[in-house]
Amino acid sequence: MPLETPVRVARELADRGYVADRGAVTLIAEADTPAATLEAAVDTLPAAAVKLTADHVRAVQADDPVDDPAAVPPDGADSDDTDDGELADDMGRADDDTETADDDMGRADDDTETVADNDDNESTADDTGSGNGFDAAEAETVGDREPSPPEIDNDVTGDSTGTGAYEEFVTVFRDRYERLSEQLRGRVNHRPADTIGEMTPGSQVAMVGLVNDIRSTASGHWLVELEDTTGTFPALVMKDRELAATVDKLLLDECVAVEGSLSDDAGLIFADDIHFPDVPRTYRPSTADREVQAALISDVHVGSQEFAAEAWERFASWLHTPAAEKIEYLLIAGDMVEGVGVYPDQDEELDIVDIYDQYRAFSERLKSVPGDIEIVMIPGNHDAVRLAEPQPAFNERLREIMSAHDARITGNPSVVTIEGVSVLMYHGVSLDELIAELPDDKASYDDPQEAMYQLLKKRHVAPQYGGKMRLAPEDHDYLVIDEVPDVFHTGHVHKLGWGQYHNVLAVNTGCWQHQTAFQKSVNIDPDVAHAPILDLDTLEMTVRKFV
């Protein structure tokens, strides 16, 4: 029995449109005549069924002693020529593929990156298993995964009230102010905007507000205007003060506190300090109480000519191997498909032109993933949901198309808690904005995690409204980061980057789409087919490459 068999069994099933749980794959792979067992097991499924379980396979094996290795000693020559013939042939071809995959995975091992490479964390070189993972002896000990259902919070799906009316923008910004100012209030002795002008000139004052305007004065200083529910008030940041560097990091509409002294005419605050809601430095993330892992990915872009199909299949196959047995969750942070009409001339690079066909093809790709892995997905800007954020999850029709894998489908953003670890999943459109607006050392495409740190500091996933990021005004600002997450997971910029900010692991998870013509024209070199694997019990991360 070739060692690669579990992978080939999984592929064969996926090709036929079935998802199988790990137990089913293992039983078929270990059967004396895998091809016949597979055929028989599939035959027992009702026409509409897509999921093959270990019980199905056991039922077939109980009925048919020929497939029970204990009952009939294997006869190699016979089984090769008869029962196994056809599939063995197919699998023989697959074997060549697998060998490449194997080879690549060998490299993947060498290429495995750790948090330590990227930041100052400690991590083992590769704790996802030794060798290429296709170890038959180990496979025997592999049991079914038993993920717990994820808890989902902060999901707009089904609760959207916004119609886009002006008053709703007032409401959502008021909510943003209320919730973020709450986090700053205890730290400064602040006053409402409409009473500051009545205070004694020269006195110490503080105000909490949303940044309404940032402009430089004729003499090169900065005027930052804050707005609260009573009005606006300006603060002056002198250009030669250290604080001027902080102004570079300010975004419109974010919530900050300014402290300083009131000018002689009581018309502005000379700013001494600016505070952000931020994450406490002492934050201690929660961890799982068992050894279990999650794979975090994004930007699959099925339907694009650049979709990295082979790499995806290598990844999915690897998930069937013992090296991946601890991976019980797969989180996908948006852009499942390439979509249609997302960017000008996008249609020239489409492999599949119909949006529903794209989701059908995506669903097929999901079938290659072991059926006992819990999948959670949120939409991105290429997906067929409203573009304005917060984005509700896929509608019924799309859920139906993607139902094979029984994934948890939730909005963008969502807080997904798995094994006690809270993961803030957000697709990441605001990252483009941050990278454009902030100084390079604070946000760049090469280090997308730096931009994520800024979002954590601002406690909002998309502070600046009006540029690339579209806001849907709800009665509640879903984009505020109320609770500090243990992990912050984004995608969108197609670059891999991760690190810790005040003990929160921030990871942008690259993509499964090779460089597009647009990306080539602007020199974006995407990080394709990387799968960050997170240990939920230690929050250490390793990255597997499937390129």
Angle of CA points 276, 280, 283, to nearest 5° = 150
Would you say 176 or 301 has its CB closer to Zn ion?
Answer: 301
Tell me whether residue 304 or residue 381 sits nearer to Zn ion (CB atom).
381
* 55: CB partners within 8 A, 6+ apart: none
Whichever of 171 and 381 has its CB closer to ligand D5M, that residue is 381
> Which runs of consecutive H residues, i.e. helices, occur in 348-496?
355-367, 396-401, 429-437, 448-458
370 part of the interface to Zn ion, by CB under 5 A? no
Residue closer to ligand D5M (CB basis): 370 or 379 = 379
Closest CB 312 distance from Fe ion, rounded Å: 14
Q: Which residue's beta carbon is nearest to the bound ligand D5M?
A: 343
Task: Give 6 or 497: the residue with its C-beta nearer to Fe ion.
Answer: 497
8 binds, options Fe ion, ligand D5M, Zn ion, none, Cβ within 5 to 8 A by partner type: none
Q: What share of the chain is helix, strand, coil (3-state, %, to 5)?
A: 35, 25, 45
Rounded Cα distance between 316 and 335, Å, is 18
3-state secondary structure of 254: coil
Question: Looking at 85-93, 116-124, 160-168, 485-493, which segment touches Zn ion (CB under 5 A)?
Answer: 485-493
Residue nearest to Zn ion (CB): 492
CA dist., res. 496 & res. 442, Å (int): 16
Q: Which stretch binds Zn ion (CB under 5 A): 22-30, 217-225, 329-337, 444-452?
A: 329-337
Residue 432, binding choice from Fe ion, Zn ion, ligand D5M, none, Cβ under 5 to 8 Å by partner class: ligand D5M
Pairing of strands 374-378, 408-409: parallel
Q: How far is the CB of 381 from Zn ion (least distance, A)?
A: 4
Strand order in the sheet with 293-297: 113-114, 541-545, 530-535, 293-297, 327-333, 374-378, 408-409
Q: Which residues bind ligand D5M (CB under 6 A)?
A: 299, 335, 343, 381-382, 432, 492-494, 518-519, 524
Binding span for Zn ion by CB under 5 A among 12-20, 45-53, 221-229, 331-339 = 331-339
Distance CA 547, CA 541 (A): 19
Binding characters for Zn ion, 333-352, by CB under 5 A (x = yes): --x-----------------
Applying CB under 5 A, the residues found at the interface with Fe ion are 299, 335
* 381 near Zn ion (CB under 5 A): yes
CB of residue 493 to ligand D5M, shortest distance in Å: 4
For residue 479, count CB atoms less than 10 angstroms from its CB and return exposed for 0-12, middle for 13-18, buried for 19 or more. Answer: buried
Q: In the chain, what is the straight-line distance between the N-terminal and C-terminal CA atoms, in Å?
A: 27
Sheet strands (E) in 35-169? 51-52, 113-114, 151-153
C-beta closer to Zn ion: residue 5 or 381 = 381
List beta partners, residue 418: 421
- Residues 222-241, one symbol each (x = binds Zn ion by CB under 5 A, - = not), give --------------------
Q: Which is nearer to ligand D5M, 343 or 356 (CB)?
A: 343
Of the candidates 295, 71, 279, 315, which has an alpha carbon nearest to the alpha carbon of residue 183?
A: 279
- The residue (of 458 and 492) whose beta carbon lies closer to Zn ion is 492
Shortest distance in whole angstroms from residue 268 CB to ligand D5M: 38
What letter represents residue 429's amino acid? V
Gap between the Cα atoms of 355 and 275, Å rounded: 45
Stretch that binds Zn ion, among 7-15, 206-214, 300-308, 489-497 (CB under 5 A): 489-497
Query: Which residues lie near Zn ion (CB under 5 A)?
Result: 335, 380-381, 492
